[in-house]
Structure 1
Amino acid sequence: MFEVHNSRFASGEILPLLCRTPHQTPAVLPLIYTVLRRRHRAASTLRRDAQIFKWLYQWVYWELGYDFDELVHAGNLHLVIGKIEQFGFWLRTGRVTSKIAGRIGDVQLERRTDWLHPTSFNGYLHTIQMFLTWAAERYLTGATTMPVSEHVLGLKDRIRSNFEALLLGGTSVAQVKGLDNHDLHALLLILHPSSPDNPFRKNARTRNWLIFRLFAEAGPRRGELLKLKTTDIVEKNDKFYVTLRRMPDDPSETRAIPPAQKTLPRTISISEALFLDIEKYIQIERRPIRNGKRSRLSHQFIFTSERGSPLSLSALNSAFSVMRATAFKHSDTPLHPHLLRNTFCNNYFDWRVERTKGELERAADELRYLCGWQPNSKMPQRYAAKWISSQANQQNQARVDIAWDDASYLDPTI
């Protein structure tokens, strides 16, 4: 009934649209709202918005029997607002039911594993709240005995109060994850192109090995890594670097879902060995062989599929799924690209503070730069807290060991 499609412009800009099937006509209100209020956002954010609007349109049609656009233009937005609790329940429970009555205490429903996380649920509600508030301001034309301005203010206040009542309280404790050195080295050995345990086809082994090493050495996000071009691996004064750029509207981008970039541009040093291996990959293996010859590519992205097209997010995620099935088949470790970014942060912070005797605040500032965070970001504090807790436990363990050793009352002969 509704699908999200990407509209691509000659400038490289990508605009995700909510469309009606089967004729693929765009839903009018999300289109206008996106162009007027959200067009400056990243394509991945706009696609997320469009997906949330899709759920809203589907629910309105199933629950009220109306197309949302027609309902708003008829001045009946209050029908949606009056049932927003039902919509919230439907959204939270995985879009499987909209009936609240008789569901309280339902054991089978409570055991569902696809309930939205509170943070995600609150974020989705906030997106819909902004959209409904905008629609009330712009399109409220229903008959009313009070002035339109008062009617709009009353409806906006009702939207605000209804949504505030649905927000889930409490926050999850942020857990700093990451691989230990043993698991990291074990994965590097398995993924070496000549390893007999390597789970990938030969023409993908070098590429995946380099991707894993880049994650471990530079800690980029997956979108940043997939956006890397051949000109972003540079040598300067016998030092080697990878340059992570922000390219939101790239005319050479052809992927259906472009990789997102949400951090600041930066340049990060890498090892000479990694630099040389990437250079060799670019010159030899990046371009697929066709008719016995290396084909010419129409883009500069470093990491490519077997056909020579830019590597997609889904292909990268699939590669990590294969890695996990091979190296962590007896473990609960959820191997994914961001886990390697966590590992990079842990290793850098530990090395900077322990090995080089650097100050915590200085190490935090450096990590902000390397990870592309804003100067006032609180993210380094998570890794500092992990290091502090580790050191505190080591010191406490040493303290209690000495205390028990000196305790004469523990002598069983007394």
Structure 2
Amino acid sequence: MLALKFWYEFWHQKYSTLFCESFLSSKYEPEIFLNEIDNFIVFLENNKKLETNLIRLRSNVDANYMTITQRLRSLFKYFVYLLDEYWNIRYQDITIKELTNRRKKIDLFLLNKKRIFSKFSKYSLTVKSEINHNFKSLTNEMVVMLYKIIRPDQTANINIDNPFSTRSHQLRNFLMVHLMMNYGLRVGELMLLTKRSIKKSLNSDSYSLIIANTDDEHDSRQRKPSIKNEQSYRVIKLDSMDYKFLMLYIEKIRNFNNSDILFTSLKPPYSPLSYSSINAIFKAIEQAFRASHPVYFDDTNIDSIQKLTPHVCRHTWAYITLAFAIKKYRNESASPLNQSNDEIMKKALEDLRVLGGWSANSIMPSYYAKRFIVDSANLMNLQRISQELWKI
């Protein structure tokens, strides 16, 4: 119980909210606690005081490492309970096979951590870092190359890389990836879209995408999608060209039955796409992407990806959107009433939170802020090195 008490104290000090609230708002994502194990160890070493980016180069002579080890073992039992309870198809938007494979990787990760802290003593040499490099998003170059693969065929220019044979399937699948990549939709939100989710303004050329639950009577899916939280109900402005593409899809392709669901099978009985169907589509795209650009999946590169999933698209959107917002606010602050970097970051994070449909207590936007800060700091350091007069 003391181990759990200290864990909750650590979480509240760092995020100003309860761990349970963070875990719930992340839809039971295990990475939120796995990524904090090293930081929690430093927290215990530092007499339960939180210091951002603290790096301990030698052991703390005042810390009892045997006690720390015992508390970590107890905490890991709690983590295993959370995995057993929430890492299943009831709570996660992935297939059973993916659940099983990832659980194996998580169990191996926890086992390796246990081996490390089991060797703790007052003579231990421990180095902890808050930076997590596994951000699971595409670089700008990857995005450009992905779009070249998934773009629908044109009459005079056949795209041989596209893994889907018919133009109807190509346009539907392109729109699904595009909506996730450019508007940050969760896969469940994509599945909730109906033909009536796309709206045009009466008085101007303004277009919107309505994210809400649907009670379509033709939705036969056994595992029905639903809105994640109250903040996920939102209205997203659509680019005019995206509106035209969606209208083309609805009028020319999605016009064959009474169902209102936007993305369905294109063959009888035209069932709404399920989680497994969308995962299969992404798997086909990933295979084509991997065949054309194997270097993007080479784990010897720090910015490589393991696979292409709907969640990778949302990660990519979040980072690109945050970076754009920060740049925009920095340009606007070039005036007599300059905003501080903290104010700029807060505004950009709030924009990201609202657009992405995260709750006010969600810690997810802060992950993207961390990556932006790391990338900016590294760029600044390289620029400094290139300008130093004394460099070799």
TM-score bracket, normalised by the shorter chain, equals 0.5 to 0.7
- Counterpart Cα distance in 1 of 2:365 and 2:86: 28
Contact 1:229 1:300 (8 Å CA) reproduced: yes
Mapping of 1:4-403 within 5 angstroms? 121-125=80-84, 173=132, 175-194=134-153, 195-202=159-166, 203-236=168-201, 237-247=204-214, 251-263=217-229, 264-287=232-255, 295=256, 297-307=257-267, 308-329=270-291, 330=294, 331-332=296-297, 333=305, 334-357=307-330, 359-403=344-388
- Counterpart Cα distance in 1 of 2:79 and 2:250: 39
The 3 A distance-change label for structure 1 pair 119 and 199 is: farther
Give, in angstroms, the shift of residue 269 of structure 1. 1.4
Larger relative CO (CA 8 A, sep 6+): 1 or 2? 2
Give, in angstroms, the shift of residue 120 of structure 1. 6.9
Q: Deviations over 1:346-400 (max 9, x none)?
A: 1111111124426110010011111111123222111111111111111111223
Structure 2 residues without counterparts, runs of 5 or longer: 1-23, 28-75, 88-112, 118-129, 154-158, 298-304, 333-343
Larger radius of gyration: 1
Give, in angstroms, the shift of residue 300 of structure 1. 0.2
RMSD between superposed Cα atoms in Å: 3.1
Contact 2:219 2:261 (8 Å CA) reproduced: no
Give, in angstroms, the shift of residue 172 of structure 1. 10
SS of the counterpart of 1:328?
A: helix
- Counterpart Cα distance in 1 of 2:382 and 2:77: 37
- Counterpart Cα distance in 2 of 1:118 and 1:383: 29
Give, in angstroms, the shift of residue 175 of structure 1. 3.6
- Counterpart Cα distance in 2 of 1:356 and 1:197: 39
Contact 1:352 1:363 (8 Å CA) reproduced: yes
Give, in angstroms, the shift of residue 271 of structure 1. 1.0
Give, in angstroms, the shift of residue 176 of structure 1. 2.5
Counterpart AA for 2:390: D
Give, in angstroms, the shift of residue 251 of structure 1. 4.0
Q: Deviations over 1:171-209 (max 9, x none)?
A: 995843211111112111211111232110203111001
SS of the counterpart of 2:273?
A: coil
Give, in angstroms, the shift of residue 320 of structure 1. 0.5
Counterpart AA for 1:304: T
- Counterpart Cα distance in 2 of 1:269 and 1:284: 23
Contact 1:217 1:270 (8 Å CA) reproduced: no
SS of the counterpart of 1:241?
A: strand
- Counterpart Cα distance in 2 of 1:324 and 1:119: 35
Contact 1:234 1:242 (8 Å CA) reproduced: yes
- Counterpart Cα distance in 1 of 2:78 and 2:234: 29
Structure 1 residues without counterparts, runs of 5 or longer: 1-41, 46-116, 129-167, 288-294
Counterpart AA for 1:269: K
Aligned length: 247
Contact 2:216 2:261 (8 Å CA) reproduced: no
The 3 A distance-change label for structure 1 pair 286 and 250 is: closer
Give, in angstroms, the shift of residue 298 of structure 1. 2.9
The 3 A distance-change label for structure 1 pair 305 and 125 is: closer
SS of the counterpart of 2:208?
A: strand
- Counterpart Cα distance in 2 of 1:242 and 1:119: 40
Taking structure 1 as the reference length, the TM-score comes to 0.54
Q: Deviations over 1:288-334 (max 9, x none)?
A: xxxxxxx3x23200111022221111111001101110012324231
Counterpart AA for 2:367: R
Contact 2:199 2:209 (8 Å CA) reproduced: yes
